[in-house]
Every structure is written in structure tokens, then in C-alpha cells.
Amino acid sequence: MVKSFFTSRVASFRYAFHGWHHVLRTQQNIWIHTAIATVVFFLALWLRLPARDWAVLVLTSAMVFAAEFLNTAIEAVVDLASPNKHPLAKIGKDVGAAAVLVAALAAILIGLLILGPPLWLKLISLFS
């Protein structure tokens, strides 16, 4: 009983990593998200942001990645259910893409609010 519990948990993680790998292989936008998140995290390190700011940045980044992952899942299911073009299939895909856009725009705003003031002060001190 305990062995089957752990075996099924390992399988669940394996499936999740397969999904992650699929997104990395097939979705160009995930590389844009990754590059931007990397820059944000290096800036946060350079600015020595407090833990609370880090928590918000990590959560925000995770929100964007989760939206992209869910959008990819929606697209795959819609393609399976409706291999031919259909107006409802288009709506499903468009709404999934809009969810990623909302998450990305929110992430930009949050990044500006958190990184903007300390970055501005650091740049002023470097150039004055």
C-alpha cells in the first residue's frame, strides 16, 4: 500500500516533467518568459531585494509560467477535439492566449512596482 502510494507519486512527477519538457520544446513564448524572469531575478539579486519582494516576484513569475502551460494544454485539447477549424475552437484558443497576456501584463506592472524604485536609486547613485 505505501509502496504503491510512492510509486504513483513518482509517476505523477514524471508526467509533470514530461509536460514541462513538451512546453519547452514546442512553445517559443516560454523562452521569452524564461529570459525575462532570469533578468528580473538577477536584477533582484543585484538590488538585494528583501524576501517579501522576492516572494512576490517568484509568485508572479510562476503565474505567467502556469498561464503559458495551461494555454498549451488548452490548445492541445482543442486540437484533439476539433481538428477542423471551428469558431468555438478559435474562441477557446484565443481566450487561453488572452489569459497568458493578462498574466504577462500583470507581471510587467508588478515588476515595475517592485524593481523600479530601487533600480532608479541604484542607477542614480552609479551615475552621480
Catalytic residues: 68
CA distance 7 to 91: 39
Q: Kindly give the interhelix angle for 87-127 and 28-47, rounded to the nearest 10 degrees.
A: 30
Could you identify the residue written with the cell 525575462? 36
Amino acid at site 37:
A
Secondary structure (H, E, C), 12-33:
HHHHHHHHHHHHHHHCHHHHHH
Is residue 115 left, alpha or beta, with left meaning phi > 0 and alpha meaning psi from -120 to 50?
alpha
DSSP 48: T
- Three cell numbers, residue 91: 474562441
